[in-house]
Amino acid sequence: MTPELRSFIEDLYAKGREFDQAEPDWSRRWRNIDPPVGEFLWILIKAIKAKEVLELGTSNGYSTIWLADAVRDNQGKLVSVDFDRELINLAQSNLDAAGISDVVELRCCEAGSLLSDLPDMSIDALFLDAERSDYAGWWPHPERVLRRGGVLIADNMTSHPEELATLYEQIQSSGVFSTAVVPVGKGELVAVRDLG
Ligand SMILES: C[S@@+](CC[C@H](N)C(=O)[O-])C[C@H]1O[C@@H](n2cnc3c(N)ncnc32)[C@H](O)[C@@H]1O
């Protein structure tokens, strides 16, 4: 990551904290991932050389920028999805200002329906950061769309384990993933598809 982009992303995170602190309605907050989670996603995407990356839950594009910078180094592309048109517009202007829009396609739609329309084994990395209670209802698509060697990451595994419990069970009982809970930020559930 260039020093310019790092400085941009630090400013964006600070703006997000300020915005969220002033916004009484939780559902309208931007709720960005913690910066160490951004670092973790960035290095993971690079390490597995992911070229086809999907993010569910764009918000203002903070995590999108972390993912996009890693994807750009891999000569890949990122699709990021949010059903809130205002947030997609805001994310687009942040990506433009960060100079990283060329590797990102922002989609304004419902994440579960986009997931169910994707071809089998077409994704190298899937980042789940939308409404946690929805994830279990999206099964089996998170498994179906991931390539062998592909990685699923879900935020909030240690902050809200009960809300991710069914997804965790689905992943484990599928028999095709190795999993770990990485204690960074609010806890990342990481599942590598190593079979199937
Ligand atoms: C926690 S925020 C995402 C934060 C963002 N990943 C970041 O770290 O910068 C969750 C976002 O998911 C979006 N969302 C929730 N459920 C969704 C769904 N079913 N389809 C599309 N977007 C959804 C919300 O509008 C919200 O912007």
Write the pLDDT tens digit of every residue in 126-146: 999 999 999 999 999 999 999
- Is pTM, for the whole model, over 0.85? yes
Residue 195 pLDDT grade (very low, low, confident, very high; cuts 50, 70, 90): confident
Q: What kind and span of H or E run contains 166?
A: helix 161-174
Q: Which atom of ligand 1 is nearest to the CA of 109?
A: 21
**Within a domain: 69:** yes
**Within a domain: 13:** no
User: Is 142 in contact with 113 (CB distance < 8 Å)?
Assistant: no
Q: What is the CATH number of the domain that holds 102?
A: 3.40.50.150
- Ligand 1 center to 49 CA (angstroms): 25
**Within a domain: 178:** yes
Which of 17, 19, 40, 84 has most ligand 1 atoms within 8 Å of its beta carbon, as the pocket-test mutant?
84
Mean pLDDT for all residues in the chain: 97
Q: Which domain holds residue 188?
A: 33-193
Distance CA 150, CA 124 (A): 4
**Within a domain: 150:** yes
**Within a domain: 6:** no
**Within a domain: 104:** yes
Using CA positions, which residue lies closest to atom 7 of ligand 1? 32
**Within a domain: 146:** yes
pLDDT in tens, 70-103: 999 999 999 999 999 999 999 999 999 999 999 9
Q: Number of folded domains in the chain?
A: 1
